[in-house]
């Protein structure tokens, strides 16, 4: 045998010996791990499954976790899944990538289900050359610095902390490209909100992050500091949000970095749990006082965000506003539905408290009209509205604007992994793990945010033109119908007759 043949044979034998040794070590390690797990399982007393079925009992939890993803991708039908089904997510994904959103062979939506909204197509729809863009609306006309915008769709409150740095930056950059505003959420305004260049709505949460003094009270000095930022156009006092009406924001301590703590004025690494309500707002008069105070200090429009549980409170609030004068009226009301849900929330609240937007939006618009405040107070609808049909419905009911949260998360690449509160978001949107954040490139995702807005504007316009309206802002209740439990549909204007606005006797 030649020297080269002998050398090759020796090399192969040596390699096999190394691999054999590695395999033996691995198998030995695995055997030791199984033995240790077995002993631990049979001696622990917390879990019956693992005590009765040591080792293999762990697979139960593994498959339970995998089940979320298997149901999403393999077993659930296109229109079955909650909170958002595959058809909804697919529409947003394609819109964000600026791909055609046409489908073939008919809809997979069951239009016979009670509550389904159908739009009333006109026999003589609006021609393209006759269509007009959404008109401008001024919020806070009586303020020193009112805000005028033609943006129908805007980014709802999602704070820096709940979202990652690249996610906030991508949203702000995308909003600037699309010409819409971005709401800071209750975490205060961060450098990344400002860096993107978009118009900003500053949300004052119950913890007053970003505008609080050392004792946690609302600070006029901090309000002035924030209002001096030219990008900050409005202030929104958050009373409640759809995910958890009656409970404050929850930011797990593992997401409270040094930077986030500095922006909010809270402790590093500790759970940031906001109070259930503003401690200084106990009644309608306190709320009106806070609205007037913030407006007087900042000179900018001030409104509030809430979920409502019924019409009685609105009657009382609007009557009090008319009694005290329009100086105490909000410039806008952001109405969230109980089906909202970007924030971490206790299941009883997210499942069973508050009215859905599909019910409460009619109530708010009609109560404003009944008390003669509709022209004074603009209405912003928020809560699980992510597709053109959702938004067209809200405009028909009477909303002036729509804000979206989870729709924009899908535009960023969210896969509905349901890991938002665990700092383990696989797409980098709601995590502060640098290894996961690196997958989200702000410049790329900003384009998708802008594309998403562009497709919403276009396709809501398509619905409006089909109904014979020249612009989405011309949509009214008679342009849509709702399927009843008996089967036939009825016009929204028949099912929910609009109340004509009255001229109230108020103190100016």
Q: Percent of the chain scored above 90 by pLDDT?
A: 48
The answer to which of 393-407, 457-471, 491-505 has the lowest mean pLDDT is 491-505
Predicted local confidence at residue 246, as pLDDT: 66
Q: Which residues of 184-221 are buried (b: 16+ CB within 10 A; e: fewer)?
A: bbbbbbbebbbebebbbbbbbbbbbbbbbeeeeebbee
* Torsion sign (Cα): 240, 400, 82, 489: positive
CA atoms of 159 and 243, how far apart (whole Å): 14
Listed by start position, the domains of the chain span 3-75, 128-143+150-495
197: nearest Cα among 180, 173, 179, 178: 173
Inter-axis angle of helices 220-227 and 284-298, nearest 10: 50
For tokens 């959702």, what's the residue? 390
pLDDT higher than threshold 60 for residue 507: no
Which tokens hold the place of 221?
Answer: 């000095």
pLDDT higher than threshold 60 for residue 504: no
CA 309 vs. chain centroid, Å, equals: 20
pLDDT higher than threshold 80 for residue 63: no
CA atoms of 215 and 316, how far apart (whole Å): 32
Average pLDDT rounded to a whole number, residues 282-292 = 97
| Pairing relationship of beta strands 480-483 and 117-119 according to DSSP bridges | antiparallel
Instruction: Express each pLDDT in 400-451 by its tens digit.
Output: 999 998 888 888 888 777 777 677 788 888 888 888 888 888 999 999 999 9
Instruction: Express each pLDDT in 181-228 by its tens digit.
Output: 999 988 889 999 999 999 999 999 998 998 988 788 999 999 999 999
The answer to which of 117-126, 432-441, 468-477 has the lowest mean pLDDT is 432-441
Predicted local confidence at residue 342, as pLDDT: 59
Which tokens hold the place of 218?
Answer: 């609302």
377: nearest Cα among 400, 402, 397: 400
pLDDT confidence bin for 9, thresholds 50/70/90: confident
CATH number for region 128-143+150-495 = 3.20.20.70
pLDDT confidence bin for 370, thresholds 50/70/90: very high
Predicted local confidence at residue 5, as pLDDT: 57
Cα angle 288, 291, 292 (rounded to 5 degrees) comes to 90
Predicted local confidence at residue 289, as pLDDT: 97
Predicted local confidence at residue 337, as pLDDT: 82
Which tokens hold the place of 18?
Answer: 């190394």
pLDDT higher than threshold 60 for residue 506: no
Predicted local confidence at residue 505, as pLDDT: 57
Q: Which residues of 265-289 are buried (b: 16+ CB within 10 A; e: fewer)?
A: bbeeeeebbbeeebeebeebeebbe
Cα angle 308, 311, 312 (rounded to 5 degrees) comes to 110
Predicted local confidence at residue 286, as pLDDT: 97
Q: 223 by DSSP, 3-state: which?
A: helix
Pick the residue with more confidence: 17 or 391?
391
pLDDT higher than threshold 60 for residue 74: no
Contact 475, 458 (CB under 8 A): no
pLDDT higher than threshold 70 for residue 273: yes
With 0.95 as the threshold, say if the pTM is over it: no
How is residue 480 annotated by DSSP?
E
């Amino acid at each position: 045998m030649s020297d080269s043949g002998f050398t090759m044979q020796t090399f192969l034998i040596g390699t096999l010996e190394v691999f054999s040794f590695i395999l033996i070590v691995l198998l030995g390690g695995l055997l030791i791990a199984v033995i240790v797990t077995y002993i631990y399982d049979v001696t622990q007393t917390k879990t019956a499954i693992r005590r009765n079925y040591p080792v293999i009992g762990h697979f139960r939890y593994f498959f339970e976790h995998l089940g979320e993803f298997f149901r999403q991708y393999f077993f659930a039908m296109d229109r079955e899944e909650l909170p958002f089904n595959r058809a909804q997510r697919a529409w947003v994904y394609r819109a964000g990538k600026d791909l055609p959103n046409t489908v073939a062979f008919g809809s997979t939506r069951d239009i016979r289900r009670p509550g389904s909204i159908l739009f009333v197509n006109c026999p003589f729809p609006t021609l393209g050359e006759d269509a007009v863009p959404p008109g401008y609306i001024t919020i806070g006309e009586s303020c020193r610095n009112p805000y005028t915008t033609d943006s129908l769709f805007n980014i709802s409150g999602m704070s820096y902390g709940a979202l990652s740095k690249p996610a906030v930056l991508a949203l702000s950059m995308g909003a600037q490209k699309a010409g819409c505003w971005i709401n800071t959420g209750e975490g205060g305004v961060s450098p990344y909100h400002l860096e993107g260049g978009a118009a900003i709505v500053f949300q004052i949460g119950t913890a007053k992050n970003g505008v609080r003094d050392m004792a946690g009270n609302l600070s006029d000095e901090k309000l002035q500091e924030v209002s001096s930022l030219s990008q900050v156009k409005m202030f929104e006092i958050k009373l409640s949000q759809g995910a958890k009406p009656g409970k404050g924001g929850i930011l797990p301590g593992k997401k409270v970095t040094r930077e986030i703590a500095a922006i909010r004025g809270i402790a590093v690494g500790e759970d940031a749990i906001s109070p259930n309500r503003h401690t200084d707002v106990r009644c309608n008069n306190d709320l009106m006082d806070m609205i007037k105070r913030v407006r007087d200090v900042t000179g900018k429009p001030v409104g509030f965000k809430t979920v409502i549980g019924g019409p009685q409170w609105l009657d009382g609030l609007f009557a009090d506003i008319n009694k005290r004068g329009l100086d105490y009226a909000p410039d806008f009301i952001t109405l969230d539905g109980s089906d909202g849900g970007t924030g971490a929330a206790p299941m009883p609240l997210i499942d069973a408290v508050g009215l859905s937007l599909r019910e409460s939006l009619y109530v708010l618009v009609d109560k404003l009209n009944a008390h003669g405040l509709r022209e004074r107070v603009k209405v912003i609808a928020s809560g699980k509205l992510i597709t053109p049909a959702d938004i067209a419905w809200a405009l028909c009911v009477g909303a002036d604007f729509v804000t979206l949260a989870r729709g924009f998360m899908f535009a960023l690449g969210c896969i509905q992994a349901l890991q938002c509160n665990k700092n383990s978001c696989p797409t980098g949107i709601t995590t502060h793990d640098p290894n996961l954040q690196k997958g989200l490139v702000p410049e790329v995702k900003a384009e998708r945010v802008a594309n998403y807005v562009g497709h919403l504007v276009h396709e809501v316009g398509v619905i409006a033109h089909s109904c014979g309206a020249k612009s989405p802002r011309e949509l009214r209740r008679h342009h849509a119908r709702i399927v009843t439990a008996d089967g036939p549909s009825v016009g929204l204007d028949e099912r929910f007759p609009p109340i004509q606005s009255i001229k109230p006797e108020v103190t100016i």
